[in-house]
Amino acid sequence: MKRLLPLLLLTAAIAATPALGRDEAPKEGVDVGKTSRLAKLVPAEQVERGAAQQYQQMKQQAAQQRALGADDNPQVKRLRAIAQKMLPFTAKWNERASAWKWEVNLIGSKQINAFCMPGGKIAFYTGILDTLKMTDDEVAAVMGHEIAHALREHARARMGKQAATNIGANVVSQVLGLGNLGNAALGAGANLLTLKFSRDDETEADLVGLDLMARAGYDPRAGVSLWKKMQAANKGAPPQWMSTHPSSDARIKEIEKHLPQVMPLYERARTAGK
């Protein structure tokens, strides 16, 4: 019983801990509820530092392969301009975002892929731009989705869940004499470049992304046209960017369901921009 006490205390601590960051979504726009308490098990600074190191390594490898988009590349300029319009609205979802050192880069690859690592490290692959021939609104839909993963700290929550498993595994391994299984379990989720999210995380990122793009003056209806393009591009075999996502039909319906909540934000931003 004494060996199980740490796990019981951990469970109680999670239950008693307030939700991470902002407890409520902005009053206007979409409402996706509270962020995961599991994220509190892993220090944000540690996750963001690890993400920055992995992102830098990725950039160095891309540069060595002449695959890193130059600052004067038209597509790089385009991506960064879209990001600049969206970033002022990120702190509404995560107060830490205002202190992040945001980066946006383009990687030469045929992969239909994009991501935003913890701490605001964004990358697009040329494959997603070239294959889907995206409008600026559709780029904003992808970027908003990926930024939302970082704002809602989905990676940190996944690592927190891994840490909880690690503690439980260590207790079991001590009882059964199996060695340090817990540390191995925690280490398995350390690669932030390849971390997979749950379907609930993906749906949440879609909705928060709609909110972000609408506030920045990008038409949230582009989320529908984007996923129709994705359907046509994958031809029955989901590309990497969709591998763990809900089906295109399901997410299109979910986006359409929430358009009434974000269209007023878009109309107001568009009017203000005239």
CB contact at 8 A, 111 and 127: yes
Catalytic (active site) residue 146? yes
The token duo for 237 is 């075999």
SS3 (DSSP) at 90: helix
User: Helix, strand, coil: what percent of the chain each, to 5?
Assistant: 65, 5, 30
Could you say which DSSP state residue 68 is in? B
H and E: helices and strands count for the chain: 10, 3
SS3 (DSSP) at 120: coil
CB contact at 8 A, 79 and 125: no
SS3 (DSSP) at 238: coil
Catalytic residue among 48, 138, 146, 153: 146
Q: What does the DSSP assignment read for 70-88?
A: PTT-HHHHHHHHHHHHHGG
Q: Name every residue whose Cβ is closer than 8 Å to that of residue 74 and which is 6 or more positions away in sequence.
A: none
Catalytic residues: 146
